[in-house]
Amino acid sequence: MLQMITLCVFLLHKFSKRFASFARESKKSIYFPLFVKKWVYLYQTKCTKTMKKIRNPYIGLEAEGYNCFACAPHNIYGLKMEFYEDGDDVVCYWTPRAEYQGWVQTLHGGIQATLMDEVGGWVISRKIQTSAMTTALNMKYRKPVPTGDDVQVEVRAHIVDRKRSFVMIEATLSCGGEVCSSADITYYCFSEQKAREEFHFLPYELEEE
């Protein structure tokens, strides 16, 4: 019995990305039984809990000028992104509402670039603990991303290389378990002293810390 449980856990971990796709589709499909949808919901909740949320250190500093289009929760026009640490990756789960479309029911390409650039910036802030500026962003659009209140995208990024003050990051935007767009992004990282003194950098910590 123990061996069977161990095998099931191994297979579930191995095919977690494929299962995530199945989970997203099952929540929207009327053909899946209720008990399957409930099981999918419980599984997703458990997986989310294994990731650790990154605390936004600038919340509460609105009077000082914090109003980021991407991550400020009070910006009425903004994306209101939240971020999680998943090993070497920083991840954001986000709902592409209709007001962010380009073509009919299709997420605007500029918004996709903004999502990946912001996640990449949070990779720098969390993993290197300094401020940075984007110097290059090369996008590849593979598939259209739908919009709607019942749609969720996963934006994920990690460091692939570092040369002196330049850090190269790979980012992807996935929907329904498929990568719809990707980006290779280069950032110039400032010294920790300059980040603190000129850009008011604050440590990016996990909520549990």
**The two structure tokens encoding residue 3:** 């061996």
- Residues 38, 108, single domain; the answer is no
- Residues 78, 143, single domain; the answer is yes
Pseudo-torsion of CA 147, 68, 59, 97, nearest 10°?
A: -10
- Residues 81, 156, single domain; the answer is yes
- Residues 121, 26, single domain; the answer is no
Q: d(Cα 120, Cα 135) in Å, to the nearest integer? A: 12
pLDDT of the residue at 206: 95
Give the CATH number, domain containing residue 174. 3.10.129.10
In the listed set 50, 66, 90, which residue is the last one of a domain according to the structure? 50
If one counts the domains in the chain, the total is: 2
Quick check: is 174 in a domain? Answer: yes
- Residues 63, 44, single domain; the answer is no
Please list, in sequence order, all residues whose beta carbon lies within 8 angstroms of the beta carbon of residue 137, skipping any fewer than 6 positions away.
Answer: 113, 116, 117, 183, 184, 185, 186
pLDDT of the residue at 47: 54
**Direct distance between the N- and C-terminal alpha carbons of the chain, in angstroms, rounded to an integer:** 37
- Residues 87, 37, single domain; the answer is no
pLDDT of the residue at 17: 46
Quick check: is 136 in a domain? Answer: yes
- Residues 69, 129, single domain; the answer is yes
- pLDDT in 10s for each residue of the chain, 209 residues: 545 544 454 444 444 444 444 444 444 443 344 444 444 444 444 555 689 999 999 999 998 899 999 999 999 999 999 999 999 999 999 999 999 999 999 999 999 999 999 999 999 999 999 999 999 999 999 999 999 999 999 999 999 999 999 999 999 999 999 999 999 999 999 999 999 999 999 999 999 76
- Residues 45, 133, single domain; the answer is no
Q: What is the DSSP letter of 18?
A: H
- Residues 149, 46, single domain; the answer is no
Its pTM stands at 0.78
- Residues 137, 176, single domain; the answer is yes
Quick check: is 207 in a domain? Answer: no
Domain of 20 in residue numbering reads as 1-50
Quick check: is 206 in a domain? Answer: no
In the listed set 10, 34, 50, which residue is the last one of a domain according to the structure? 50
- Residues 91, 173, single domain; the answer is yes
pLDDT of the residue at 49: 65
- Residues 157, 92, single domain; the answer is yes
Quick check: is 163 in a domain? Answer: yes
Helix 16-28 / helix 34-50 crossing angle, nearest 10 deg: 130
- Longest Cα–Cα distance of the chain, Å, equals 60
